[in-house]
């Protein structure tokens, strides 16, 4: 296993490698494999990029975000402008059915609500508005319509994990109650953890995924 010092160095190197991030503005602390990012960034997209960069590093067991988004005068926009842009970009997104997602903007923070069938539609909506200038944060409150029985969902998720995982999946337990999926067990890296979680979200009707897996 990596020491905290080695992990800190790897995280800082990955942040420098990520083109959307100004690594010099971000502080990195590591304790017992848990990484904390602190500092100011110029956009929500940069903050998001930093989070994703850290999650790619092997050995990261937990991640805490203590960064703030401080927009420049050039980057500031009114809530009305941001809301109009968000509605436009969602209307151009083929994966998101028209009129299924509502947009609320307050102080640059976008809240999405509504109901869709697939989680990828929910994710695509957030990914599109996250790129807009002037956005300080995104709260994705879009819900998923339940479609399949718990037994079917459990079987689909377990099959998807087996197809995609590079290591033994017997340590991963999938429990489905209604549209809620709980994942327990152990994985070898954050990347493998993301793969399992993504597999769980891939079944139609899944409304929530509770990730209680442990990285070893």
168/47: higher pLDDT: 47
pLDDT at 170 over 80: no
Within 13 Å and on the Cβ side, how many CA atoms surround 29?
9
pLDDT of amino acid 202: 81
pLDDT at 91 over 80: yes
pLDDT of amino acid 101: 93
Three-class secondary structure of residue 148 per DSSP? coil
pLDDT at 148 over 70: no
List the beta bridge partners of residue 106. Answer: 109
Q: Name, in order, each residue with C-beta under 8 angstroms of 136's C-beta and a sequence gap of 6 or more.
A: 44, 69, 71, 107, 108, 109
Token pair for 10: 């790897």
Question: Percentage of residues in the chain with pLDDT exceeding 90?
Answer: 40
Picking from 84, 69, 65, the residue whose alpha carbon sits closest to that of residue 135 is 69
Question: Is the Cβ–Cβ distance between 191 and 56 less than 8 Å?
Answer: yes
20/98: higher pLDDT: 20
Token pair for 157: 């998720």
Token pair for 26: 């971000």
Mean pLDDT for 68-94 is 87
pLDDT at 204 over 80: no
* Per-residue model confidence as pLDDT tens digits over 106-121: 999 999 999 888 888 9
> Where residue 201 falls among pLDDT bands split at 50, 70, 90?
confident
* Per-residue model confidence as pLDDT tens digits over 11-61: 999 999 998 899 889 999 999 999 999 998 888 889 989 998 999 999 998
Ordered strands of the 180-187 beta sheet: 172-177, 180-187, 208-215
What does DSSP assign to residue 207?
A: -
């Amino acid at each position: 296993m990596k020491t905290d010092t080695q992990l800190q160095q790897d995280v800082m190197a990955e942040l420098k490698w990520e083109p959307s991030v100004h690594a010099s503005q971000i502080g990195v602390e590591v304790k017992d494999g848990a990484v904390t990012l602190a500092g100011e960034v110029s956009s929500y997209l940069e903050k998001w990029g930093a989070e994703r960069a850290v999650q790619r590093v092997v050995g990261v067991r937990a991640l805490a975000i203590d960064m703030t988004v401080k927009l420049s005068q050039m980057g500031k926009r009114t809530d009305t402008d941001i809301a109009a842009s968000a509605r436009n970009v969602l209307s151009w997104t083929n994966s998101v059915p028209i009129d299924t997602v509502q947009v609320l903007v307050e102080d640059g923070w976008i809240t999405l609500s509504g109901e869709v069938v697939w989680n990828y539609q929910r994710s695509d909506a957030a990914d599109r508005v996250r790129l807009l200038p002037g956005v300080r944060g995104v709260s994705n409150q879009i819900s998923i319509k339940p479609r399949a029985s718990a037994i079917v969902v459990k079987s689909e998720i377990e099959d998807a994990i087996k197809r995609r995982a590079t290591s033994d999946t017997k340590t991963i337990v999938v429990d489905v109650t209604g549209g809620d999926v709980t994942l327990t067990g152990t994985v070898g890296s954050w990347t493998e953890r993301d793969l399992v979680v993504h597999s769980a979200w891939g079944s139609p009707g899944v409304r929530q995924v509770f990730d209680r897996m442990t990285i070893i």
